[in-house]
Amino acid sequence: MIESKAQVEQAAEKIASLKAEIGRVIVGQRAVVEQLLWCLLAGGHALLEGIPGLGKTMLVRTVADTVDLKFTRIQFTPDLMPADITGTTLAEFGRQGETSYRFQPGPVFGNLVLADEINRATPKTQSALLEAMQEKTVTAGGTTYPLPRPFFVLATQNPLEQEGTYPLPEAQLDRFLLKIDVSYPTREELKEIVVRTTSPVQPRAERIMDADALTELQSLAKDILVSDEMAEAAVDLVMATHPDEADAPEQVKRYVRYGAGPRAVQAIVSVAKVRALAAGRLHVSWQDIREAALPALRHRIVPGYEAQAMGMKSDELALAALEAAEARR
């Protein structure tokens, strides 16, 4: 519970030091780092999309180093099976012929789980994460096992245009708090990457906080105030993505097949609270909601057939909804 403004300012300093430590290893990608920290502090999962070689895996490893969480990695491949993720029940035979069964936990039993190249696996295997991401449990052999807390899934994927990839089911996409686009580095950043990665000593992030400190920051973020006006603004924004909504922009009505659901509002408000905390503020502003909108909506808007034929991206439709919501303020 927030007891004073100083408590919020101290939390903002901790978040800033966490971001700075990650920056010692990761060159550039400031928006990506910031959005990834939003997910961690809001207690949600993140999906990072970008071409191979942009440092997505290194970024997740670096975050695990700074927060001192148990890190596990699952390399998704076309032949990966659901039991390779969740674990399996093993039969053990005693000396007297008695049989017992023991559950062998899979790599999903970690604090920070890297699902690397998640769209390389089949939809059946991808769906093995659904229960873990939503209920934070795994059910095997009729028994439900709790996952460690805190628990985060940070998944990476290559653009769907690349060969050998499968689209993620909408039900799974909706469970990611944010979808983060990882873009090419700039010329200056590319030069710095070369200098760092070809030097004799490779930088490694130091631990900034433990799991208890992270949980405390998550609790403080939840206590950040959201006025009725800002809650209405978040609802207006999500409603503007629905093609059957009277106030939706024409672009949404024409090109959107399905709009964002309740999890989108929850994601926007949760991230807005974290952003306010990182800025040392006690309340959420419209700018917080605005900054959270695109990564929270881009994977929850399903373009229609006409939009797909035109090559229209969800980002364009999310921005149209954002502009419409902003115009009504």
The residue among 88, 150, 83, 87 whose CA lies nearest residue 121 is 83
Q: Report the pLDDT averaged over residues 69-73.
A: 88
Q: How confident is the model at residue 277 (pLDDT cuts 50, 70, 90)?
A: very high
> Is there a single domain that holds both residue 176 and residue 311?
no
For residue 160, the model assigns a pLDDT of: 64
pLDDT bin (cut points 50, 70, 90) of residue 184 is confident
- Within a domain: 16: no
User: Please, are residues 15 and 277 in contact by the beta-carbon 8 Å criterion?
Assistant: yes
**Residue 58 and residue 86 in one domain:** yes
pLDDT grade, residue 42 (50/70/90)? Answer: very high
Looking at residue 276, its pLDDT comes to 94
pLDDT at 91 over 90: no
Please give the pLDDT value at position 124. 82
Helix (H), strand (E) at residue 153: strand 152-157
pLDDT, position 161: 62
Q: What's the CATH number where 288 sits? A: 1.10.8.80
Shared domain for 165 and 238, answered yes or no, is no
pLDDT at 164 exceeding the cut of 80: no
Give the domain extent around 161: 21-209
Q: Residue 188's pLDDT band (boundaries 50, 70, 90)?
A: confident
- Is the predicted pLDDT of residue 122 greater than 70, yes or no? yes
Tracing tokens 């994601």 back to the chain, one arrives at 267
Q: Would you state the pLDDT for residue 233?
A: 92
Q: Please report which confidence band the pLDDT of residue 204 belongs to, taking 50, 70 and 90 as the band edges.
A: confident
pLDDT(26) > 70:
yes
Higher pLDDT, 41 or 90: 41
pLDDT of 162 higher than 70: no
Asked if residue 255 belongs to a domain, the reply is yes
Segment 213-255, tens digit of pLDDT:
898 999 999 999 999 999 999 999 999 999 998 888 889 899 9
**Percent of the chain topping pLDDT 90:** 33
Whether residues 228 and 178 share a domain: the answer is: no
Phi then psi for 50, rounded to 5 degrees? 180, 165
Q: Residue 69: its pLDDT value, please?
A: 84
Q: Residue 117 sits in a domain of what CATH number?
A: 3.40.50.300
Q: What are phi and psi of 111, to 5 degrees?
A: -85, -45
User: Do residues 150 and 294 share a domain?
Assistant: no
Give the global pTM.
0.88
pLDDT for 172 equals: 84
| Phi, psi torsion values for 238, nearest 5 degrees | -70, -40
Average pLDDT, the chain: 87
| Nearest-angstrom CA–CA distance, 187 and 168 | 33
Question: Does 2 fall in a domain?
Answer: no
Give yes or no for a contact between 132 and 138, defined as CB atoms under 8 angstroms apart.
Answer: yes
What's the confidence (pLDDT) of residue 230? 94
Is omega for the bond preceding 150 within 30 degrees of 0, making it cis? yes
Q: What is the pLDDT of residue 143?
A: 83
Half-sphere exposure (Cβ direction) of 87: Cα atoms closer than 13 Å:
22
> What does DSSP assign to residue 283?
B
Q: Are residues 85 and 180 in the same domain?
A: yes
Residues ≥6 apart with Cβ < 8 Å to 101: 89, 90, 91, 92, 141
Average pLDDT of the segment spanning 284-294: 94
Q: Residue 75 pLDDT > 80, yes or no?
A: yes
> For residue 12, is it within any domain?
no
Check pLDDT > 90 for residue 38: yes
pLDDT score of 329 more than 90: no
Q: Which of 145, 123, 103, 130 is nearest to 45 (CA)?
A: 130
Please indicate, yes or no, whether residues 200 and 232 belong to a single structural domain of this protein. Answer: no
Total count of domains within the chain: 2
